[in-house]
Chains A and B, each alone.
Chain A
Amino acid sequence: MLLAVLSGFILAALAPWLTRSLQDKAGWVLALLPAGLFVYFLSWVPVVVAEGAQVVAYPWIPGLDISLTMLVDGLSLLFALLISGIGTFIIIYAGGYLHGHEYLPRFYAIMFSFMAAMLGVVLSNNLITLFVFWELTSITSYLLIGFHHEEKESRWYALQGLIVTVGGGLALLAGLIMLALAGGSFELHEILASEELRDYGFYAGMVILILLGTFTKSAQVPFHFWLPNAMAAPTPVSAFLHSATMVKAGVYLMARLNPGIGGTELWLYALGIFGALTMFTGSFMALRSTGLKAVLAYTTVMALGTLTMLIGIGTEQAIIAAMTFLLAHALYKAALFMLAGALDHETGTKDITRLGGLRQLMPITFITACVAALSLAGLPPLFGFIAKELMFEATLQAPLISTFTTVLAVVSAIMIVAMAAVFSLRPFLGPLKETPKKPHEAPLSMLIGPVVLAGLSLVFGLAGFLPATALVGPAVAAVHGAPLDFDLYLWHGINLPLMLSVLAVVAGLLLFWQWDRVLAVYRRMTFIDRFGPERGYEKLMDGLVWLAAWQTRLLQNGYMRNYLLTIVLTTVGLTGWTFFVHTGSSAPLGTIEFAVHEIVVAGLVVLGAIVASVTSSRLGAVATLGMVGFGIALLYVFFSAPDLGTTQIMVETLTVILLVLVLFRLPAFQNLSSAAARLRDAVVALSLGGLMTLLILAVNAVEVTDRISDQLVAWSYPEAHGRNIVNVILVDFRALDTLGEIFVVGLAAIGVYAMIRLRAEDRKK
Chain B
Amino acid sequence: MQTIMAFLIGALFAASIYMMLRRSIVKLVIGLILLSNAANLLIFTVSGLTRGLPPLIPEGAALPEGGWADPLPQALVLTAIVIGFGVLAFAVVLIHRAYEVINEDDLDKMRSTDT
A residues contacting B by CB (< 8 A) are 558-561, 564-565, 568, 589-595, 598-599, 602, 605-606, 609-610, 612-613, 618, 621, 625, 628-629, 632, 635-636, 638-644, 647-648, 651, 654-655, 658-659, 662-663, 665-667, 669-670, 672-673, 681-682, 684-686, 688-690, 692-693, 696-697, 699-700, 704, 707-709, 712-714, 716-718, 722-726, 729-730, 734, 737-738, 741, 744-745, 747-749, 751-752, 755-756, 758-759
Contact = CB atoms under 8 A, between A and B. Distances in A.
B71 A560 contact: no
Nearest to B57: A723
Given A590-B3, A647-B78, A689-B13, A729 B71 contact: yes
Interface string B63-77: 110001111101101
Contacts of A613: 15, 18-19, 30
Contact of B21 (A561, A595, A712): A561
Given A651-B85, A681-B18, A724-B55, 19 more contacts: A589-B3, A602-B4, A609-B11, A609-B15, A610-B11, A613-B18, A659-B92, A685-B17, A686-B14, A689-B10, A697-B3, A697-B6, A704-B48, A712-B71, A712-B72, A713-B71, A725-B56, A738-B79, A741-B83
Nearest to A763: B100
Interface string B44-66: 11101111111111110111100
A714 B79 contact: no
Contact of A725 (B12, B71, B85): B71
B64 A599 contact: no
A672 B24 contact: yes
B33 A625 contact: yes
Contact of A643 (B24, B74, B92): B74
Given A561-B21, A606-B11, A639 B86 contact: no
Contact of A628 (B5, B37, B68): B37
A591 B1 CA distance: 8
Contacts of A722: 57
Contacts of A724: 55-57
A726 B14 contact: no
A559 B12 contact: no
Nearest to A601: B8
A592 B4 contact: yes
Contacts of A697: 3, 6
A606 B8 contact: yes
Interface class of chain A by DSSP: helix
Contacts of A605: 8, 12
A700 B82 contact: no
B97 A758 contact: yes
B93 interface: yes
A22 to B, nearest CB: 52
B89 interface: yes
A656 B30 CA distance: 11
Nearest to A714: B63
A32 B90 CA distance: 65
A554 B75 CA distance: 41
28 contacts: A561-B108, A565-B21, A592-B3, A602-B4, A610-B15, A628-B37, A635-B5, A642-B56, A658-B92, A662-B92, A663-B26, A665-B99, A667-B105, A669-B27, A681-B18, A692-B9, A692-B38, A693-B6, A693-B10, A696-B5, A697-B6, A726-B55, A726-B75, A726-B78, A744-B86, A745-B83, A752-B93, A756-B93
The 6 lowest CB-CB distance pairs between A and B, nearest first, are A689-B14, A693-B10, A640-B69, A558-B111, A748-B86, A685-B18
Contacts of B93: 662, 751-752, 755-756
Given A672-B22, A693-B9, A700 B2 contact: yes
A647 B81 contact: yes
B21 A685 contact: yes
A502 B87 CA distance: 86
A672 to B, nearest CB: 4
A745 B81 CA distance: 11
Nearest to A699: B46
Contacts of A642: 54, 56
Interface residues of B, number: 91
Contacts of A589: 3
Contact of A644 (B53, B70, B78, B83): B78
Contacts of B87: 748
A707 B55 CA distance: 14
A669 B16 CA distance: 17
Interface of B: 1-30, 33-34, 37-38, 40-42, 44-46, 48-59, 61-64, 68-72, 74-75, 77-79, 81-90, 92-97, 99-100, 105-108, 110-112
Contacts of B48: 704
A590 B93 CA distance: 43
Given A605-B12, A666-B105, A704-B48, A568 B75 contact: no
A353 to B, nearest CB: 55
B4 A599 contact: yes
Residue of A609, A654, A747 contacting most chain B CB atoms (<10 Å) = A609
B44 A696 contact: no
Contacts of A561: 21, 23, 107-108
A115 B70 CA distance: 65
B58 to A, nearest CB: 8
A712 B14 CA distance: 35
B27 A696 contact: no
A641 B23 contact: no
Contacts of B38: 692
A635 B41 contact: yes
A751 B91 CA distance: 10
Contacts of B10: 689-690, 692-693, 696
A602 B10 CA distance: 12
Given A560-B28, A640-B51, A697-B6, A708 B15 contact: no
Nearest to A592: B3
Contacts of A665: 96, 99
A507 B63 CA distance: 103
Contact of A609 (B23, B27, B34, B52): B34
A639 B69 contact: yes
Contact of A688 (B13, B29, B74, B99): B13
B8 A759 contact: no
A559 B90 contact: no
A299 B56 CA distance: 87
Nearest to B48: A704
Contacts of B74: 641, 643-644, 726
Contacts of B54: 640-642
Contacts of A592: 3-4
A729 B88 contact: no
Contacts of A751: 90, 93-94
Contacts of A609: 11-12, 15-16, 34
Nearest to B94: A755
Nearest to B91: A748
Contacts of A730: 75, 78-79
Contacts of B26: 618, 663, 666, 669
